[in-house]
Amino acid sequence: MFNLLSHYCNSSPQLTKGVRSGKPFYALNFFTRSLPCFTELHTLFYPSGTKIIPSNIYELLTPVALAHVIQGDGLAVRHGLFICTDSYKLVDIVRLMNVLIIKYRLECIIHYHTSTQPRIYIRQRSMPLLRDIVRPHMEKSMLYKIEAKLKVKPVKEPKIEVTNLESGEIIKFVTIKEAAKALNVSHPTIAYYLKNKNKKRKPLLGKYSLNYIGKEEVVV
């Protein structure tokens, strides 16, 4: 960033140290000269001292600008991405969200982090499109914000096999609870039936045979 703006600066970046959430962090700061081009931008976003989303945000929010918004205020979550617009008024957030929807075709909704802190949530299914738009303009260290991987739970293998002796239909269940619900019997009834599989037993409900699949184990 400094390399892009260095011709607007009088000095080199300075290392600063702070504390956030009880942990030390380091940052590089640099300051530009006071120039009319920056004054114009400041007036757009701070017309009366409070930061707003200007009415011409459609023209201002280029792919490069959107990339910087995400790098600064983006919050990666398991499904999608939040833009932390906590300090803006709702009317400003809606204005910004409309640009994301209309200009970039991103599916967005407003989500309240607290009762007074609305945020823009970009849905998971829009993330591939968002990546295509902003990835070329983002620093590598910030790409985690748009490439958060879903933590996919492993698929559980069926543990119980239920055979309908009348129709020959076989249904498989992961847990005793699932089998009990499907057959409309109690959990202990299924557990007892499976526990005593080596004993001579009548079909459950007069028509069902139950067996463990593979290694026998207690499945609740």
Q: By three-state DSSP, how is residue 160 classified?
A: strand
DSSP H helices in the chain? 2-5, 36-45, 57-60, 63-73, 90-102, 127-134, 176-183, 187-195
The answer to whether the CB of 20 falls within 8 A of the CB of 60 is no
Q: What are phi and psi of 76, to 5 degrees?
A: -75, 130
pLDDT digits (tens, 9 = 90+) for 90-137: 999 999 999 999 999 999 999 999 888 999 999 999 999 999 999 999
Q: By three-state DSSP, how is residue 186 classified?
A: coil
pLDDT band of residue 220 (cuts 50, 70, 90) is very low
- CATH architecture assigned to 34-145: Roll (3.10)
The residue ranges of every structural domain in the chain are 1-33, 34-145, 160-212
Which residues contact residue 209 at a Cβ distance below 8 angstroms, ignoring those fewer than 6 apart?
162, 163, 165, 203
Q: What are phi and psi of 207, to 5 degrees?
A: -150, 0
pTM of the model: 0.63
pLDDT digits (tens, 9 = 90+) for 124-183: 999 999 999 999 999 998 999 998 654 545 556 667 888 888 888 888 888 888 888 888
